[in-house]
């Protein structure tokens, strides 16, 4: 009899919290976001809640104004190495760009971390669209989207071949459009063979790459219907590529603000909002849409002609985020202010409520075929994660959709449908 299907829960550690004013929380010190002890504390809370993995985003550039909020500063695999030494079971998902890395070096770095952690690592594949990043690598501009994804597809193929060479010891011989690699990784295989692949792009090219190669997809759908459609689309691509659709796990981002009651959660959210820099969320959401929201009436919906206008081919942002927000705006006709509340200002679904309300949301999407799990994005660390672990996790266990203890030794085994690679 097959094991009962359980929800996958990763915690996405965005600096000190998803909300831009989270750094003002009284239980943090000013340099928490560059303190290894901070990441260790967050990881140990997550492991106490038997969460699947700790997820670190990355962008090899300074993107936020440090005077407004802390920004990502420490290189992800370095932080994950510290977390690995302080935990036993928690998975370790690190982001690295295919546009600004070398495949041999990345394959070496991530497999090394996978070996020393006992098989708990995944690589989150991104292509990087932030224009300012190019100058850090001696380039005048970011490559166009098609070029980035052609490079990403080849990059993933090379990295996967190199990881397989660690097991087979057969040399890789690759001559492609972007890379010429001939050799074998010196690193041995890990207990799970090699790291899993996670993909975070929501564009058509990103979905194709995900269905073809990824073990999990970090999606950004805002409504249940859109989530179900995205779920089907990626699984269909996987099936067409000759893969088992169940081997690709769809994990939407979900921002949580937890209170003992809905009223308490709303009060917590409003407190965060009152401390945020003026216009910060509107500026971020406007950039995601390619629309200047500051010029619009906050109490009226975004004009439909702006939302339906063709996307500029040079639009630098995430098409997946933009598509999700545009769909929500058109279907709901929310005012600008309401849209900011529903999309969290960043394009991920925001749930403000009691533990019961949040647990019900997880269950609804999971059972409706819109998600295999979630990338949890608490409003602020460590308190937002502690509240989730202490009050929401027990409810998910009571519903029978989340584990009571860790049973598997590797992240690959834990992600159902991602079997251990067969040694050659």
pTM across the whole model: 0.89
Counting as low any pLDDT under 50, the low residues of the chain are 1-2, 417, 420, 422-424
Model confidence over 347-377: pLDDT tens digits?
A: 688 999 999 999 999 999 999 999 999 999 9
For the 8-254+351-414 domain, the top CATH level (class) is alpha beta
Q: CA neighbours within 13 Å on the CB side: how many for 252?
A: 31
Q: How far apart are CA 94 and CA 78, in angstroms?
A: 10
Q: How far apart are CA 175 and CA 156, in angstroms?
A: 14
At 132 the pLDDT is: 74
Model confidence over 164-188: pLDDT tens digits?
A: 999 999 999 999 999 999 999 999 9
Q: How far apart are CA 202 and CA 218, in angstroms?
A: 8
Cis peptide before 382 (omega within 30 of 0): yes
| Residue positions forming the annotated binding site | 58, 95, 149, 203
Contact between 52 and 411 under an 8 Å Cβ cutoff? The reply is yes
At 316 the pLDDT is: 64
| Residue positions forming the annotated binding site for FMN | 58, 95, 149, 203
At 423 the pLDDT is: 42
């Amino acid at each position: 009899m097959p094991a009962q299907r359980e929800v996958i829960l990763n915690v996405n550690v965005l600096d000190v919290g998803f909300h831009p004013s989270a750094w003002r929380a009284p239980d943090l010190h000013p340099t928490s976001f560059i303190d290894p002890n901070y990441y260790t504390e967050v990881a140990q809370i997550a492991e106490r809640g038997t969460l699947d993995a700790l997820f670190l985003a990355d962008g090899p550039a300074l993107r936020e104004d440090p005077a407004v909020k802390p920004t990502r500063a420490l290189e992800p695999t370095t932080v994950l190495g510290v977390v690995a030494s302080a935990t036993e079971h928690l998975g370790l998902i690190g982001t690295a760009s295919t546009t600004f890395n070398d495949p041999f070096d990345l394959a070496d770095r991530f497999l090394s971390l996978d070996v020393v952690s006992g098989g708990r690592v995944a690589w989150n594949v991104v292509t990087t669209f932030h224009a300012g990043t190019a100058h850090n690598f001696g380039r005048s501009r970011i490559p166009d989207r098609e070029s980035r994804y052609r490079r990403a597809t080849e990059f993933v193929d090379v990295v996967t071949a190199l990881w397989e060479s660690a097991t087979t010891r057969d040399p890789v011989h690759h001559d492609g459009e972007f890379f010429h690699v001939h050799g074998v990784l010196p690193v041995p295989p890990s207990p799970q063979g090699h790291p899993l692949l996670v993909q975070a792009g929501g564009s058509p090219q990103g979905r194709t790459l995900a269905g073809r190669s990824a073990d999990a997809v970090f999606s950004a759908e805002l409504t249940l219907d859109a989530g179900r459609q995205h779920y089907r689309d990626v699984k269909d691509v996987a099936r067409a590529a000759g893969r088992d659709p169940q081997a690709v796990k769809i994990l939407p981002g979900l921002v949580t603000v937890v209170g003992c009651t809905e009223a308490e959660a709303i009060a917590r959210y409003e407190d965060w909002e009152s401390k945020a820099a003026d216009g910060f969320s509107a500026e971020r959401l406007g950039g995601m849409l390619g629309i200047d929201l500051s010029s619009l009436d906050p109490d009226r919906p975004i004009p439909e002609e702006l939302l339906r206008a063709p996307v500029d081919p040079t639009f630098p942002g995430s098409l997946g985020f933009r598509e999700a927000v545009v769909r929500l705006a058109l279907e709901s006709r929310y005012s600008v202010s309401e849209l900011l509340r529903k999309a969290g200002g960043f394009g991920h679904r925001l749930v403000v409520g009691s533990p019961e309300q949040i647990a019900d949301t997880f269950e609804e999407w999971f059972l409706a075929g819109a998600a295999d799990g979630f990338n949890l994005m608490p409003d602020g660390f460590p308190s937002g994660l502690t509240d989730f672990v202490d009050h929401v996790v027990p409810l998910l266990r009571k519903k029978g959709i989340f584990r009571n203890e860790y049973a598997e030794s590797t992240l690959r085994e834990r992600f159902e449908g991602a079997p251990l690679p067969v040694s050659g």
